[in-house]
Amino acid sequence: MTKFKKIIYILTVILMTQMFISKIHAKSTKDASFNVLVLNSYHQGHYWESNIAMGLKNYISNNNEPNINFKVEYLDFRVNHDKEYIKSLKDMLSKKYPKGSIDLIYAVNDESYEVFKKEVKNINSNFYKLPLLFSGVDNNLEETNKEKENMTGVYHRDDTLDLMILMQDLTPKVRYINIITEESGYGYSIYKEVTRIVDRYLKDQVKIRHIKSNYLEDITKELSEIKNSESTINIIGGEFQCKNLGKYKTPIEVINTIKNYSSAPIYSNDQTYMNAGILGGSIDIGQEQGSIIGEMIIKLKNGEKIENIKSVPEPKVKSYVDYNSIYEYNINPFSVIKDVVVLNKDPFELLIPTWMKGVLIFLQIISIIIIIGIIIIFIRFRNDKLKRIEIQKRAKEREKLKSDFIVNLSHELRTPINIILGTTKVLEKSLEKGNLDKDYILSKLENVDKNAYRLLKISNNIIDMTKAESGMLKLNLENCNIVCVVEDIFESSIDFARRKNIDMVFDTECEEVKVAIDIFQIQRVILNLLSNAIKFTPENGVISVYIYKEKENVVIEVKDNGVGISKEKVDYIFHRFYQVDNLYTRHNEGSGIGLCIVKEIIDIHDGKIQIESEINKGSTFKICLPRHLKVNEMQNEGSSIKDINKIVDLEMSDVY
């Protein structure tokens, strides 16, 4: 082979390979997309056609078919349906979709089917021999197989009979039927079908009137001329425009307007009106038909022959009623048979007559009242029980406190009595032995004296407590300088504190605060607090007394850094007989009634006593006394030291 021939050979091979590749490419591009021309008979937004489109779109996307292209056209046959319009449409579509650009035609509804079933048979048409799918088309049994060649789809089932059965169930007394439709093939078919059924089953019983127009104004005008009767019903189908605006009214607007002119129940087999406030109907669901068409399109795209895909009737219609309309039109709810779907009914609502609903509501109210009554009785019973338990608990506590008190008291009484008896015995023995040492005898007598005071303190406390309980504790009020009263008592207690090596500090904000008090009782109060502080503060502790004025009160604080009292026990500290430690665990003497009397005395002075305490840190008792003065009263500077010593000896008699 010459060099030139070789080059020619290589070029030819490259050229052929190129052509082969582009052929495959061209084929695959064509294979990849499948163009479906969707011919809607009516306008964009037509309810039933939109529902079909929705079902179709969902089916295609659920089946993952991205390469199917839908070229959607709205032929608007409702506006115009004459020969000239149809011809211009055909011309326009031929120009828009040249031969080979479309793989399949889908005619939605009769009108577009009627036109394009001729086109696919027309040898001069761009759409010649294209497979044709249809839906919503009446099954014309007269069409020959030849005529039906290359076509398949979903036939419209005659759902008028179902509608008439529903109508007979719900409104059996019907004598007049107003058929309200748009002026179109669809509207006429509704009229035709209803008339056929009436002629067949209800001849001479029911009269039909066809009210047809594309404009709502015409419909209402005609309706207003008809006398409303109880035995009338309306059947509606199609869509209606407003004459002035030329705009389609929404289904709800249409129904509401009709209701203004006719009180008769409205039925419809048109899915458009399903939730627009009509009584009910028997409908085929557009979405279901869309799915069937979708399945057929995919089969055709995948190479299946159209003659192998059989035409099917549309899925069985479903009868439905609107729950609210049943009551609006006074329909007997029991006339709704089992298979009928009830729309707009909440799950807890019952399909029963209104009077029955009233009885049910009444029964519900009664049962709610009974339940509330039972709950109230139960709560009362429970509260009473809790109260009884609380009272019993308190009574038990009181009993326990009382018996503890008696045990303490007998211990308290026995100790000084034993000491007194013991000491007198010792003195007797000493005298028998002739031991007449004066200091020795005096110290023994002092011991007898102290314990006799202790007995006196106990008996005084018991008497005062009983007096306080019966409201007999009376005050002998005198105007005096309370700072002096407190300071005197404080100084007399220092000796007792010193025995335990406890530091005593006195401080006051002002030297003189005049108030009307029962000096003796206030002395007892301060002494009681100080004796407790000394008793419950360990060696080397500090006890301080601080006096200051508030707007209306004088405040006396007695503070120690002793054992303190736990939070739970602080609340009981002023109760009668209460002692934080019981007889067997306590380290100090006492009957447990001191603070109770302190509180009673402060209360009858119209004052307040509070305590702040923390375990192992100490306690602070705060007394607030109102700065009242007794009128026409000479000022008293406080009791004499002699008096005080007696009281101090008495109150401190249990401090060791």
Is residue 401 at the binding interface for ligand ADP, with CB under 6 A as the rule? no
CA-to-CA distance for 526 and 623, rounded, in angstroms?
9
Considering only residues 533, 547, 648, 652, which one is a binding residue for ligand ADP as defined by CB under 6 A? 533
User: Tokens 């002494």 map to which residue?
Assistant: 527
**Considering beta carbons, is residue 97 or 490 the nearer one to ligand ADP?**
490
Secondary structure letter of residue 228 according to DSSP = P
What's the closest the beta carbon of residue 656 comes to ligand ADP, in angstroms?
13
**Considering beta carbons, is residue 441 or 462 the nearer one to ligand ADP?**
462
CA-to-CA distance for 60 and 67, rounded, in angstroms?
10
**Considering beta carbons, is residue 191 or 621 the nearer one to ligand ADP?**
621
Q: Is 271 within 8 Å of 311 (Cβ atoms)?
A: no
Distance set, CA 468 to CA 460, 463, 477, 514, 603 (Å): 12, 9, 16, 26, 10
Is residue 536 at the binding interface for ligand ADP, with CB under 6 A as the rule? yes
Considering only residues 116, 578, 638, 648, which one is a binding residue for ligand ADP as defined by CB under 6 A? 578
Is residue 563 at the binding interface for ligand ADP, with CB under 6 A as the rule? yes
CA-to-CA distance for 580 and 562, rounded, in angstroms?
14
CA-to-CA distance for 528 and 452, rounded, in angstroms?
18
In one letter, which amino acid is 363? L
CA-to-CA distance for 154 and 135, rounded, in angstroms?
5
What's the closest the beta carbon of residue 469 comes to ligand ADP, in angstroms?
15
Q: Which stretch binds ligand ADP (CB under 6 A): 69-77, 368-376, 417-425, 531-539?
A: 531-539
Considering only residues 579, 638, 647, 648, which one is a binding residue for ligand ADP as defined by CB under 6 A? 579
Is residue 527 at the binding interface for ligand ADP, with CB under 6 A as the rule? no
What's the closest the beta carbon of residue 365 comes to ligand ADP, in angstroms?
59
Considering only residues 590, 623, 651, 653, which one is a binding residue for ligand ADP as defined by CB under 6 A? 590
CA-to-CA distance for 182 and 41, rounded, in angstroms?
14
Considering only residues 40, 532, 553, 561, which one is a binding residue for ligand ADP as defined by CB under 6 A? 532
Task: Give me the phi and psi of 547, to 5 degrees please.
Answer: -115, 135
In one letter, which amino acid is 529? L
Angle between helix 185-201 and 110-119 (nearest 10): 110
Overall size of the chain counted in residues: 656
What's the closest the beta carbon of residue 422 comes to ligand ADP, in angstroms?
23
What Rg, from alpha-carbon coordinates, does the chain have?
56
Q: Is 517 within 8 Å of 482 (Cβ atoms)?
A: yes
What's the closest the beta carbon of residue 564 comes to ligand ADP, in angstroms?
6
CA-to-CA distance for 569 and 571, rounded, in angstroms?
5
Is residue 294 at the binding interface for ligand ADP, with CB under 6 A as the rule? no
- In the complex, residue closest to ligand ADP by CB: 590
Phi-psi region of 311 (alpha: psi -120 to 50; beta: other; left: phi over 0): beta
Considering only residues 340, 565, 601, 648, which one is a binding residue for ligand ADP as defined by CB under 6 A? 565
**Considering beta carbons, is residue 134 or 536 the nearer one to ligand ADP?**
536
DSSP calls for 572-616: TTTSTT--SS-TTT--S---S-HHHHHHHHHHHTT-EEEEEEETT
Is residue 591 at the binding interface for ligand ADP, with CB under 6 A as the rule? yes
Is residue 560 at the binding interface for ligand ADP, with CB under 6 A as the rule? yes
- Within 608-647, the residues that bind ligand ADP by CB under 6 A are 619
CA-to-CA distance for 298 and 277, rounded, in angstroms?
38
Considering only residues 265, 562, 607, 638, which one is a binding residue for ligand ADP as defined by CB under 6 A? 562
**Considering beta carbons, is residue 355 or 584 the nearer one to ligand ADP?**
584
Site track 487-526 with ligand ADP (rule: CB under 6 A), x = hit:
----------------------------------------
Relative to beta strand 608-614, strand 618-626 is antiparallel
What's the closest the beta carbon of residue 489 comes to ligand ADP, in angstroms?
16
**Considering beta carbons, is residue 294 or 562 the nearer one to ligand ADP?**
562
What's the closest the beta carbon of residue 582 comes to ligand ADP, in angstroms?
10
- The footprint of ligand ADP (CB under 6 A) covers 528, 532-533, 536, 560, 562-563, 565, 573, 578-581, 590-596, 619
